[in-house]
Amino acid sequence: MGKRVNPKITETYINLGDALLREDKTQEAACIFEKASSLEPDNPEIYLKWGVAFGRDHHLKEAIPLFEKALAIRPDYPEAQVYWGLLQLLQGNLQAGWPAYNWRFVFDDYKGKLPYNRALWEGESLNGKTLLVLGEEGFGDQIQFFRYLPLIQKKYDCHIIFVTDPVLITLFQQCQGVDELIETLHPDIQYDYFIPIMSLAKVFNTSLETIPANIPYITPDPDLVSLWKKRMNKKARLQIGLVWAGSPKNPNNRYRSCRFSDFSVLATLNDVHFYSLQMGPESEQADILPVGMPLTRCDKNIRDFSDTAAIIQNLDLIITVDTSMAHLAGALGIPVWVLLSVRSDWRWLLEREDSPWYPSMKLFRPTTPHNWDNVMQLVLQTLIHQL
């Protein structure tokens, strides 16, 4: 019988590995978790964190077996289920990934927010029923998965209530697929089933081949479209919208966001007018313009996503990092070029330059982290060929 390892030693290794992960030293963290696993080989938490260290850099061959090892020890391990599922989605194995991704419901972010006094909808007939759809995650996630609501109403004679963020309500009011839009779930609201919006892909058993991409499924307010059209620069041949930063609340934001100055190479283009669709404090970066870049800031006149949709409808192209603007432009069917980070999100898959979710989208991928120069040069050359 081998000597029992002091659990405090293993805990020290885990804490050190966590600290290295916070500093983004993934390779060093992986080595530490490997050492910890040799001390306590039946601890599923170690394999989970070890897998996370590899998964951040998309080292899937190393990460996936580690999550599976954690699940072999503890099959009901929510974090391991979700991480394993996300890597399946990243590879395009959507039908395998959706059920595992549903384990997110036990996370703290969902506790107290899901109405478990009602039935979770799992595909039962909704004829004569009311379905409550819960908005979740970010604005872009809700825009991306809103596409399923018209499909539900087409299939069933039902009533759909959608709980979403206030800044999205006027946008969705123009669209088919929902009967009521509310900001908050009140106890007196009557419904038969509920479902978080991103789980609709599982109910529809969505694969890469069956992604509903009937674009556009977002309809901008025609009055707002006309209003913003009057504000556009009618002299330039191309009208291009720019977005360079996502929400700072997103844990991946430091990887996915760039700076407005990174777009300075586009100032060499002729017959182009740019529009800043950037919101928040980062919009102030556009106060200092590169020499020769004509740009209009729109942020001070944008009230919510309905204004943004109207602006986009008047533009020829959107160039954006991975933000809700990418989803909004894609859902409107407007050409959109998305600048991805090396650690791109699962929905953009691996190595592809297109997106099965949005036919009008083109993906640009960098070769090294935090280096947007090669991406911007590729964007510039692509634009030159189109002018």
With pLDDT > 90 as the criterion, what percentage of the chain qualifies? 82
Which sequence spans correspond to the domains of the chain? 7-104, 119-210, 222-386
The Cα–Cα gap between 134 and 104 comes to: 14
3-state secondary structure (DSSP) of residue 104: helix
How far is C-alpha 36 from the geometric centre of its chain's CA atoms? 33
Q: What is the mean pLDDT of residues 79-94?
A: 97
Mean pLDDT calculated for residue range 157-186: 95
| Superfamily (CATH H level) for 7-104 | Tetratricopeptide repeat domain (1.25.40.10)
State the amino acid at position 232 in one-letter form: M
Rounded to whole angstroms, the Cα distance separating 126 from 119 reads 12
- Please indicate whether residue 230 or residue 187 has the higher confidence score (pLDDT): 230
Domain 7-104 and domain 222-386 have a common topology: no
pLDDT of residue 137: 87
Question: How far, in Å, CA of 139 to CA of 122, rounded?
Answer: 24
Give the end-to-end CA distance of the chain in Å, rounded to a whole number. 74
> For residue 386, what are the β-bridge partners?
none
Distance, CA of 202 to chain centre: 17
For residues 222-248, average pLDDT? 92
Residue 332 and residue 216 in contact, taking contact as beta carbons nearer than 8 Å: yes
b/e burial code for range 90-127 (CB count within 10 A of at least 16 → b): bbbebbbbbebbbbbbeeeeeeeebbeeeeebeeeebe
Q: Are 268 and 133 in contact (CB under 8 A)?
A: no
Lowest mean pLDDT among 143-157, 298-312, 338-352, 360-374: 360-374
* pLDDT digit string, tens, across residues 195-206: 999 999 999 999
Q: For tokens 């947007």, what's the residue? A: 372
Tokens standing for residue 43: 């601890």
Section 48-62 average pLDDT: 94
Interatomic CA distance for residues 98 and 231, integer angstroms? 43
Judged against a pLDDT cut of 60, whether residue 60 lies above it is answered with yes
Please check the confidence at residue 2 and state whether its pLDDT lies above 70. no
User: What's the pLDDT at 39?
Assistant: 92
Q: Report pLDDT for 110.
A: 82
Contact 350, 370 (CB under 8 A): no
pLDDT of residue 369 exceeding 80, the answer is no
- Averaged pLDDT for residues 212-231: 95
Take residue 122 and report the two structure tokens written for it.
């799992």
**Mean pLDDT along residues 90-96:** 97
* Cα 295 from Cα 238, distance rounded (Å): 12
129 exposure class (CB count in 10 Å sphere: 0-12, 13-18, 19+): middle
CA gap 376, 356 in Å, rounded: 23
pLDDT digits (tens, 9 = 90+) for 266-312: 999 999 999 999 999 999 999 999 999 999 999 999 999 999 999 99
Domain 119-210 has CATH 1.10.150: no
Closest C-alpha to 361, from 324, 327, 385: 327
List Cβ neighbours of 5 (8 Å cut-off, separation of 6 or more). Answer: 39, 40
Secondary-structure percent of the chain, ordered helix, strand, coil, rounded to 5: 45, 15, 40
pLDDT the model gives residue 1: 41
* Bridge partners, residue 238, by sequence: 272
Return d(Cα 36, Cα 51) in angstroms, integer: 13
In CATH, 222-386 is 3.40.50.2000: yes
- How far apart CA 273 and CA 351 sit, in angstroms, is 31
